[in-house]
């Protein structure tokens, strides 16, 4: 009888302890989430969609624009598996190319942008409005290869870059068709509905580029364009040997700035935007931030151009708890220190809450929880055993 009472007591005690523990863990996480939300991006992965839409040799610079950005996002850490590259023409193999198999963006021809290390996902006639919209909204039939899909989720930050020939509220694809500003806005709305992104950084270099983002209505999008309505976008310089313009001004100054940063940079979006002066670009670049809740002065460029590294939580527990307990960190002074902690933290929190499918990553809550589960089961079994023995 006595033994029976003891076993019952033991089980109750254990279950209570399990419940308290879970609540405590949740409290820490909630706290953490608040910190992260108020300052840093919650994203856990980065993607880039880079699109050149024009054809023909004299549009060499559009290909060079997009290949330059391809090189940059790779350098800053986005893997090829998370870059969708759409190249509307193959200028590297154009018979008029005096340097077959190469693409340069600079007249000193220092860097061959084409090289061996390039993975084109859509080329030539595959670069269509339909494919681009399908890519964004992920509407494919089941046979479509995974490598050609934008496999993003609600924790993805996406950098989308487009270049080609455009006009007021349209961008031409292949000289054959065009995508309208409303089509693009609706595609982003579908993406938001389907939880396909956390934040989008949209950049477009074309004539009258700013008209392309003016109809966006979905949240968490920051957009920049190279020129206003009724304004052309200008090329930067030509290469006498190649015989055509090799890069556009807007993209040139974007790259010039991005070349200065590395994976650990603390540079923010507003610093890049400061390069977009009339003196540099010779047109009026536009910046749209009203859909974007974070202040661009606090948004790291690496939130879009870098890549979140996988986090092994066990080693970072101290930092994580530090961030959770110091909510009023000064966000205007995002010394690597604090912002790094919170960044790390954001990933952990997001992973804990969302990406249970990612089994390789230990999460803050999984470890203690599973331990608690095992403990509970063992104790209950012991209790039952004792009960039976007592009987």
Ligand X SMILES: *[C@@H]1O[C@H](CO)[C@@H](O)[C@H](O)[C@H]1NC(C)=O
Site stretch for ligand X (CB under 6 A), options 112-120, 195-203, 204-212, 335-343: 335-343
CA dihedral 312, 313, 316, 322 (to 10 degrees): 150
| Least spacing, CB of residue 259 vs ligand X, in Å | 15
How many Å is the Cα radius of gyration of the chain? 26
**CA 166 – CA 206 distance, rounded (Å):** 6
Query: Of 266 and 366, which has the nearer Cβ to ligand X?
Result: 266
The catalytically annotated residue of 14, 43, 62, 207 is 207
332 near ligand X (CB under 6 A):
yes
How many of the chain's residues bind ligand X (CB under 6 A)?
Answer: 9
Query: Of 334 and 383, which has the nearer Cβ to ligand X?
Result: 334
DSSP 177-226: EEEEHHHHHHHHHHHHHTT--SEEEEEEESTTGGGGTTT--SSSEEEEES
**CA 106 – CA 14 distance, rounded (Å):** 69
- What number of other Cβ atoms are within 10 A of residue 3's Cβ? 12
By rule CB under 6 A, what string of x and - marks binding of each residue 125-164 to ligand X?
A: ----------------------------------------
| Least spacing, CB of residue 341 vs ligand X, in Å | 8
Query: And the tokens for 136?
Result: 């964004």
38 near ligand X (CB under 6 A):
no
337 near ligand X (CB under 6 A):
yes
The catalytically annotated residue of 43, 62, 165, 236 is 165
Question: Residues 163, 66: contact at Cβ < 8 Å?
Answer: yes
- 207 as an active site residue: the answer is yes
Site stretch for ligand X (CB under 6 A), options 165-173, 193-201, 328-336, 381-389: 328-336
Query: And the tokens for 112?
Result: 């061959």
Q: Which residues here bind ligand X, judged by CB under 6 A?
A: 266, 295, 297, 332-335, 337-338
Q: Which of the residues are catalytic?
A: 165, 207
């Amino acid at each position: 009888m006595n033994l029976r009472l003891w076993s019952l007591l033991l089980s109750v005690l254990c279950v209570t302890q399990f419940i308290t523990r879970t609540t405590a863990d949740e409290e820490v996480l909630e706290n953490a989430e608040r910190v992260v939300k108020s300052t840093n991006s919650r994203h856990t992965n980065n993607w880039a969609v880079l699109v050149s839409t024009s054809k023909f040799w004299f549009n060499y610079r559009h290909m060079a624009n997009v290949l330059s950005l391809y090189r940059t996002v790779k350098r800053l850490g986005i893997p090829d598996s998370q870059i969708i590259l759409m190249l509307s023409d193959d200028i590297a193999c154009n018979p008029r190319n005096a340097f077959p198999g190469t693409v340069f963006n600079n007249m000193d021809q220092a860097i061959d942008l084409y090289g061996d290390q390039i993975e084109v996902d859509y080329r030539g006639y595959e670069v269509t409005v339909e494919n681009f919209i399908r890519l964004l909204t992920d509407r494919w039939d089941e046979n479509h290869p995974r490598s050609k899909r934008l496999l993003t989720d609600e924790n993805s930050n996406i950098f989308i870059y487009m270049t080609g020939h455009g006009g007021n509220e349209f961008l031409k694809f292949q000289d054959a068709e065009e995508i309208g500003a409303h089509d693009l806005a609706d595609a982003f709305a579908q993406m938001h509905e389907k939880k396909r992104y956390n934040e989008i950084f949209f950049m477009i270099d074309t004539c009258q580029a700013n008209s392309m983002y003016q109809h966006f209505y979905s949240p968490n999008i920051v957009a920049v364009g190279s020129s206003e309505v009724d304004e052309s976008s200008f090329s930067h310089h030509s290469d006498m040997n190649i015989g055509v313009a090799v890069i556009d001004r807007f993209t040139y100054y974007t790259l010039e700035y991005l070349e200065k940063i590395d994976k650990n940079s603390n540079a923010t979006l507003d610093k890049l935007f400061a390069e977009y002066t009339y003196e540099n670009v010779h047109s009026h670049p536009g910046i749209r931030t009203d859909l974007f809740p974070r202040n661009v002065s606090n948004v790291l460029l690496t939130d879009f151009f870098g890549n979140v590294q996988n986090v092994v939580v066990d080693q970072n527990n101290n930092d994580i708890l530090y961030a959770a307990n110091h909510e009023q960190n000064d966000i205007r002074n995002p010394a690597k220190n604090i912002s790094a902690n919170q960044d790390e933290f954001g990933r952990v929190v997001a992973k804990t809450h969302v990406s249970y499918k990612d089994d390789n990553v230990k999460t803050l809550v999984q470890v203690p929880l599973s331990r608690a589960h095992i403990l509970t089961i063992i104790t209950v079994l012991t209790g039952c055993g004792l009960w039976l023995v007592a009987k």
